[in-house]
Amino acid sequence: MLEHGGRLRQAAKEYGIALKDWVDLSTGINPDTYPIPPIDPLCWQRLPEDNDGLEAAAAAYYGSERLLPLPGSQAAIQSLPLLFKPMAIACVSPLYEEHPHAWEKAGHQLRRLPTLQRALSVVTPNVLLCNPNNPTANLLPRQALLDAADQLRRRGGWLIVDEAFADAEPENTVAALAGGEDAPNLIVLRSLGKFFGLAGARVGFMFAATDKLEALREFIGPWAVPNPSRVVARHALENRAWQAAARARLATNSQRLAGLLAPLGTVGRTALFCTVSGDEEPLPVAALADHFARRGILVRHFDQHGLMRFGLPGDESEWQRLADAVAEWNTP
C-alpha cells in the first residue's frame, strides 16, 4: 500500500498533538467543501440507478456523454491497466504514484520520463500523465495534449490523462474530447474529491471510447457509486454559481499561498496546492516536514524528488499558523 497525504491520525500519534489541533495541508483538497444538500433518507434504502440525473449533470458539466461514474477515480487507476494486454507505457514523472504502481502490478513495461516531449520522442506508443501534475504543479496546455493524442493515435497508442486537479481551469481540460472522433485514443480521469472538496463521497469519472467504458463497467460491476454520493455529486455538478465562486476564491488563495511559501524556495502553483523545490541547493524536505509537523501543520513531502506540497489553509487562523512556521524556519 502506497503512502498518501491525509494520514493525520498517524501524525497526531507520532508528534503527540491532538487531532483537533492540526492544520492538514497534505491532501490538496479544497478546504471550502461544496455544501452538502439535504439527502432523502430513501437514498440509503434503494440501490443506485443510472437514470437519477447524475450522468446528465456530469455530461453537461464536462461536455461529453462518453463517461462512466466511478467510486472515485482511484477505481479507474487500479482497474484500467487490466483492460489492456501487456504493453509499454511511459509515465511523465514524477506523478501520482498510484498510476505507475498499478501499471507495473498489471505486468506492463513502464518507462518514467521527465517530460511529455521526451515521452513522445522515444516513440513509446502509450503515455500517461497528470495535468495539472501532482506533485510538481506543472501544467501542459490543452493543445499540447491534443497534439500528443494525435501523434500517439498514428502509432496505434493511447494517451491517458488524469485531470483530478483540473476543475479550476476548465478551458484547459480535454475530457470533452476523450473517446470522440478527434481523439478516439484519449482516456481522461476526473474526480470530485479535489475542487469540490468531496473526497469522502468517492465519486469520479472516466471519459473514453465506448468499448473501454463498457469494459471498465463490466470489470467494476453494478452499483459502483452509492446513492447518497450520487445525489451529492449531481448537486455539485449542477451548481454553476458555486463553481464560479470557488474558482475565483481558489485563484486568489493559491496566489496568496505561493507568495507565503516563496521564502522556502521555488514555488510551483496550481489552484489547489503549491509545490516548493530548492533554488540553488536541494530542499531539505525531511527537516522541513518535521519543522511544520512539530507546529501541528501536516504537509506532503517527496524525499526522492526534493519536493514539498502544501494545500490551502482553511481559515485565517490556519493562514497565520503557516506564515508563522515559515518565518520561524527562516529565522537564524
CATH class label, 8-33+241-329: alpha beta
Binned at pLDDT 50, 70 and 90, residue 204 comes out as: very high
pLDDT confidence of residue 280: 81
**Residue 4 above 80 pLDDT?**
no
Per-residue pLDDT at 323 exceeds 70 = yes
> What is the distance between the alpha carbons of residues 294 and 136, in angstroms, rounded to a whole number?
25
- 312 neighbors 257 (Cβ within 8 angstroms): yes
Q: Which sign, positive or negative, has the C-alpha torsion 54, 60, 35, 139? A: positive
DSSP per-residue letters across 140-162: --HHHHHHHHHHHHHTT--EEEE
332: pLDDT strictly greater than 80: no
**pLDDT exceeds 70 at position 325:** yes
**Mean model confidence pLDDT for the chain:** 95
In the prediction, which pLDDT does 5 show? 60
- Looking at the domain 41-238, which fold is it? Aspartate Aminotransferase; domain 2 (3.40.640)
* Same-fold call for 8-33+241-329 versus 41-238: no
CA dihedral (72, 78, 79, 80) positive or negative: positive
Asked if 320 and 299 count as a contact pair (C-beta separation under 8 A), the reply is no
* Full 3-state SS string of 43-62: HHCCCCCCCCCHHHHHHHHH
Beta bridge partners of 269: 274
d(CA 167, CA 189): 12
Q: What is the mean pLDDT of residues 90-112?
A: 96
Summarised one tens digit per residue, pLDDT across range 270-282 is 999 999 999 888 9
What are 22's three cell numbers?
492540526
Q: How far apart are CA 96 and CA 130, in angstroms?
A: 7
pLDDT computed for residue 2 by the predictor: 53
Q: Among candidates 113, 103, 161, 160, which has minimal Cα distance to 133?
A: 161
pLDDT at 284 > cutoff 70 = yes
In angstroms, what CA-CA distances link 307 with 14, 95, 301, 326? 22, 12, 6, 16
Instruction: Spell out the domain ranges in the chain.
Output: 8-33+241-329, 41-238
Determine the Cα–Cα distance for residues 225 and 55; give it in Å rounded to an integer: 12
Q: Can you give the pLDDT at residue 222?
A: 93
pLDDT(156) > 60: yes
* pLDDT tens figures, 238-252: 999 999 999 999 999
pLDDT in tens, 22-80: 999 999 999 999 999 899 999 899 999 888 999 999 999 999 999 999 999 999 999 99
Q: Provide mean pLDDT across the span 119-146.
A: 95
Note whether 196 and 186 are within 8 A (CB).
Answer: no
Q: Is the pLDDT of residue 1 over 80?
A: no
Q: Which run of H or of E encompasses 112?
A: strand 109-113
pLDDT of residue 217: 96
Mean pLDDT in residue range 114-126? 93
Query: In whole angstroms, how large is the CA radius of gyration of the chain?
Result: 20
